[in-house]
Structure formats: structure tokens, C-alpha cells
Amino acid sequence: MRNESQGKVTSGYAPLGDLKMYYEIHGQGGMPLVLIHGGGSTIPVTFGFTLELFASDRQVIAVEMPAHGRTRDIGEPTSFKQDADYVAALLKWLGIPKADVFGFSNGGHTTIEIGIRHPGVVNKLVIASAFYRRDGAFAGFWDGFENATLDMMPPELKAAYLQTDPDPERLQVMFDRDTARMREFKDWTDEEMGSIKAKTLVFSAQHDVNTLEHALRMSKVIPGAELVIVPGTHGSYLGESFLGDNAGGGRMPEITVALVKEFLDK
């Protein structure tokens, strides 16, 4: 299942029990890097401006999580633990014994669980724009999840999502799964975070969903973790495709990839 030539893209669906998990493999060489998108997103929404930059000198495995994009919902609630198990199962199915993992936003929460639950498959972790406690989010973040409706989703994000999966019914299912998961969000304890053995980079924007104080705290509670804070807002440093006129983020995606690669290559 490995990519054999630079520039070639391999894609498919991994049979993981009842789930058929969509994945793409870009690039070749080096320690494989897994990219996990944010909630309400897909591979091109989160990583459309960074994936090929990451894959310029290493193998990259980009995934779409249950009920997102081309990975269909299988009729069960989603959780970060479950998603972590699916990523570990995908790596086993692909025959990849160990990989670096970069998770953005909800993908960062899945990355935390991978570090805790599956230390054997992890080389290094990058936890981007995430928090491990409810009080780590900005004031007012949790307001509205109880009565969230699809019309509250940014129209640019909906439009970007529908470019990958044009079925509005599946968009609704994804939205319902993600909002339910966030309503039920439970803190990780400092002890759980302290059990992460992989070398970890905590990555955040200056004006993100997590507070700067919390990003700093996370970098201290994970043994030996490093911290990077960049200018911008949630997703802007990746140039997320739903950001309208700001999509692409200028040079920030290039800068972000360079910073992440510097950490991964140490």
C-alpha cells in the first residue's frame, strides 16, 4: 500500500470492522506522518494548503474520520478514543509500525488519545489548536453546543465540506456527531497527559480556540513537550480552505510546515 514515487497519490478505503476509512498517501521516504483534520472538516478543508508541503520530503498519510467526508457514518456516536483506535488500526492495516501524528483541533484531541492509548505506534506528536480541559477553551466557547443547529455552521465551512461530500444529509449527520461529542467532552487529567511518552509539540495560534495560558500549561504537563505560538486565528496558520479571502494564509502555511518539520526532524 506504500507510495512508490514522489508526487504519486495513493488513496483508498481501509476495512476496519464495519468502518471503511478513507485515506490518502502522498510522498515517500522518512518517518511517515499522519494528518488528522479538524471537526466538521475533511482532508482538503484542513490540509489543502499544507499537505503537499508536508509530503515534499516524507510519506504522508491523510485520513478522514468517521462521518466526515468520504468516510461514511456507521450509525454510532463518535469519540476521540474510538478515532484514536481507528487511526492505530489503519496504520496496522497499512503495515506501518510507527509514525508521527499531526492533529488539528478535534484532530488534536484524537492525537492526545493516540499518545495515551497507542504509544507503540507513535514516534512524535503534534497537538495543534486543541485543549485537554474544558476550561482551556476561550470564554464562551461552550455556549450554544446544547442547542446547536446546522445553520450555525459557517456557510464557508459548509460549502467547503460539500465539495468533498455533496450529500446534505450526511453533512447533517456529521454536524450532529461532532456537536454531540463536544457536548460530552470530558477533561483529560494531568496524570493522563503526563503518561504521554512520545516527544510532543503543542502548536497554537495567538487567537485560537484554546487560551495561550492553556497551551503553555499543556506543554508543561506533557513531559518534555515543546510549544510554538504563531500569529493568527484558529486554522489560519494552515490556510484552511473555508477562510474565504484569507484562504491560503499568505506564507503562514509554509512557515507552519517548516516549524513542524524542524520539530519532527530533530
In-domain check, residue 252: yes
Check pLDDT > 80 for residue 2: no
Report whether pLDDT(3) > 80: no
Give the residue numbers spanning the domain of 34.
9-264
- Confidence at residue 250, expressed as pLDDT on a 0 to 100 scale: 85
Decide: 189 and 218 in contact? Cβ < 8 Å: no
196-208: per-residue pLDDT in tens? 999 999 999 999 9
Q: Contact at 8 Å (CB) between 85 and 109?
A: no
Is residue 1 assigned to a domain? no
> Out of 13-17, 93-97, 141-145, which region has the weakest mean confidence (pLDDT)?
141-145
d(CA 252, CA 238): 7
The pLDDT of residue 248: 64
Domain count, the chain: 1
Question: What number is the average pLDDT over the span 136-140?
Answer: 96
Q: How big is the CA angle at 135 (ends 133 and 141), to the nearest 5 degrees?
A: 110
State the average pLDDT for the chain: 94
- Output the domain CATH number for residue 164: 3.40.50.1820
- What proportion of the chain, given as a percentage, has pLDDT over 90? 90
In a domain, residue 4? The reply is: no
Q: How far is CA 143 from the centre of its chain?
A: 23
The mean pLDDT value for 138-152 works out to 93
For 146-167, the pLDDT digits (tens) are: 899 999 998 888 998 999 999 9
DSSP annotation of 205 reads E
Q: Looking at the whole model, is its pTM more than 0.85?
A: yes
Given this model, what pLDDT does residue 1 score? 34
Maximum distance among all Cα pairs of the chain, rounded to whole angstroms: 48
Sheet holding 122-128, edge to edge: 9-16, 19-26, 60-63, 33-36, 99-104, 122-128, 199-207, 226-233
The grid coordinates listed for 263 are 520539530
Q: Where are the beta strands (DSSP E) in the chain?
A: 9-16, 19-26, 33-36, 60-63, 99-104, 122-128, 199-207, 226-233
Q: pLDDT per residue over 182-241, tens digit each?
A: 999 999 999 999 999 999 999 999 999 999 999 999 999 999 999 999 999 999 999 987
Give 161's contacts (C-beta < 8 A, 6+ positions apart). Answer: 40, 41, 42, 45, 69, 171, 174, 242
Q: Give the pLDDT of residue 133.
A: 98
For cell 453546543, name the residue: 145
